[in-house]
């Protein structure tokens, strides 16, 4: 009886162990098949931080394999494809190089950032008009134009452009990187003079040029979560400014206009008289023809 029980226990243990080993084998086999089914692709990545507009050399790049599903279609596969090119954007270490973030030295500049039908135009600003110098490239801003209507008359302000893209600050096409931990921050420029380059439509470029000559411009920073067309633009018409007030201004120290002299009336024609003869006869005077 004890022998049969021991034999039964051993058989059960062997069966359970065999089942566990079988499940583990099947699981490992399934995992191996899944790994074999994942397509891997060779890509080029950076092995160091590359700032924008820096020349790319072979020692900055490394070749690795990544899942094809996680690789962009324009990813480069050979370091020679980017050797000698220039980084169009800042790329931290480990970034995948694509055809859109590298280019030839001749292509580096403002033109690569302009879309078809877009114009780049610069306006002068100071630290106040540029939101204390806190505007950075890539931000969206509204352009406000204030027109002075005359002495003693408050100026009127129009929002002539909404949601314009900031392409550059002075000659910088990219925002300055944040200082490293513990590093001494670079002091701000205290000159208070600079330029902001905006991406606008051709019609907006014409309007901005006229407004820059005839009005005081100021930028207003927009929230990135607000739609660009959330508010309409305001029409700026310089010819209509100041006329209603000027029509009612009374001139001082100006003599009243002289009354016009009436034109002389035409005289009546003179009828000539017939000649008369006067005769004196003694104490009588006789007149006749």
Q: Where are the domains of the chain?
A: 40-107, 117-175+192-245
Average pLDDT over residues 40-67: 88
Could you tell me the CA-to-CA distances from 199 to 11, 89, 133, 134, 142 in Å, in that order?
81, 18, 18, 18, 12
* Strands annotated E in 98-211: 102-103, 119-125, 140-147, 156-169, 194-200
| Mean pLDDT taken over the chain | 76
**pLDDT for position 242:** 46
Question: So what's the pLDDT on residue 220?
Answer: 93
pLDDT at 205 over 90: yes
pLDDT higher than 50, residue 191: no
12 or 196: which leads in pLDDT: 196
Provide the token pair at 231. 């508010």
Work out the pLDDT band at 138, boundaries 50, 70, 90.
confident
* Confidence label for 180 from pLDDT (cuts 50, 70 and 90): low
Judged on CB neighbours under 10 Å (0-12, 13-18, 19+), 212 is middle
pLDDT at 246: 44
Please report, rounded to a whole number, the percentage of residues in the chain having pLDDT higher than 90: 21
Lowest mean pLDDT among 74-83, 85-94, 189-198, 252-261: 252-261
Q: Residue 217: what pLDDT?
A: 93
- CATH hierarchy code of domain 40-107: 3.90.1210.10
pLDDT for 257: 47
Structure confidence by residue, pLDDT tens digits, 97-116: 888 888 876 556 677 677 78
């Amino acid at each position: 009886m004890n022998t049969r029980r021991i034999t039964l226990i051993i058989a059960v243990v062997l069966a359970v162990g065999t089942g566990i080993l079988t499940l583990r084998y099947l699981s490992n086999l399934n995992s191996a098949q899944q790994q074999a089914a994942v397509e891997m692709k060779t890509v080029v990545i950076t092995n160091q931080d590359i700032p924008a507009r820096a020349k790319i050399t072979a020692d900055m790049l490394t070749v690795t394999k990544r899942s094809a599903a996680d690789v962009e279609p324009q990813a480069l596969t050979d370091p020679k494809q980017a050797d000698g090119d220039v980084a169009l954007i800042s790329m931290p270490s480990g970034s995948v190089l694509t055809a859109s973030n590298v280019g030839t030295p001749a292509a580096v500049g403002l033109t690569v950032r302009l879309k078809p039908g877009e114009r780049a135009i610069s306006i002068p600003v100071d630290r106040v008009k540029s939101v204390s110098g806190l505007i950075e490239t890539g931000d969206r801003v509204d352009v406000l134009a204030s027109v002075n209507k005359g002495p003693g008359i408050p100026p009127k302000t129009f929002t002539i452009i909404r949601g314009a893209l900031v392409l550059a600050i002075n000659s910088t096409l990219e925002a300055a990187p944040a200082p490293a931990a513990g590093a001494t921050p670079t002091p701000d420029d205290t000159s208070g003079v600079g330029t902001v380059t905006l991406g606008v439509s051709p019609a907006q470029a014409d309007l901005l040029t006229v407004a820059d000559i005839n009005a005081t411009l100021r930028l207003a920073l927009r929230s990135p979560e607000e739609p660009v067309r959330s508010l309409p633009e305001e029409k700026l018409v310089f010819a209509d400014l100041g006329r209603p007030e000027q029509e009612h201004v009374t001139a001082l120290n100006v003599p009243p206009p002289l009354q016009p002299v009436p034109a002389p009336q035409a005289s009546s024609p003179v009828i000539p008289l017939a000649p008369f003869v006067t005769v004196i006869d003694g104490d009588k005077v006789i007149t006749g023809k």
